């Protein structure tokens, strides 16, 4: 069994999360399609081999662009996909937000019975962060907004 992962590192979009008091900063980044990789997992979904395999034909979850806008207290990330479908055992979308003082990981876990997804935020060390995370998954438009 294989698991194709969709991951976004906001820092890759060249966003400096240090806006001025009265202004929001923003950035956009385009991503090449066909650059997904998979890893082997067992029936419980645990990774059994960290060696990744290119999956150029896989389209579900393949990121095409990222647009980030950040203010003094809010970061908005719009991720567009080549295809985004509610299929299989589930989808895990990872978002890493880096700033000079913080490293946060946002996970959107969507699966049968909860395709709208559940969002959690953690530190780089895995500790849960009590921070409001809102998200929207639009399968018809192939977009996730966090």
Tens of pLDDT, residues 13-38: 333 344 444 456 788 888 888 888 88
Please give the Cα distance from 38 to 114 (Å, whole number): 23
CB–CB of 38/89 below 8 Å? no
pLDDT value for 145: 96
Averaged confidence pLDDT in the chain = 82
Q: How far apart are CA 32 and CA 5, in angstroms?
A: 15
Please give the model's pTM, rounded to 2 decimal places.
Answer: 0.77
Res 4: pLDDT: 53
């Amino acid at each position: 069994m294989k698991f194709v992962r969709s991951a976004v590192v906001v820092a890759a979009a060249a966003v400096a999360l240090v806006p001025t008091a009265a202004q929001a900063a923003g950035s956009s980044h385009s991503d090449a399609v066909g650059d997904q990789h998979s890893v082997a997992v067992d029936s419980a979904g645990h990774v059994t081999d960290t060696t990744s395999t290119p999956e150029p034909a896989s389209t579900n979850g393949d990121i095409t662009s990222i647009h980030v806008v950040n203010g003094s207290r809010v970061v908005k990330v719009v991720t567009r996909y080549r295809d985004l479908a509610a299929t299989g055992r589930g989808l895990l979308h990872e978002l890493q937000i880096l700033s000079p003082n913080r490293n946060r990981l946002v996970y959107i876990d969507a699966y049968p019975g909860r395709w709208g997804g559940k969002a959690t935020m953690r530190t780089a060390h895995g500790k849960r962060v009590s921070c409001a995370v809102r998200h929207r998954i639009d399968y018809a438009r192939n977009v996730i907004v966090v």
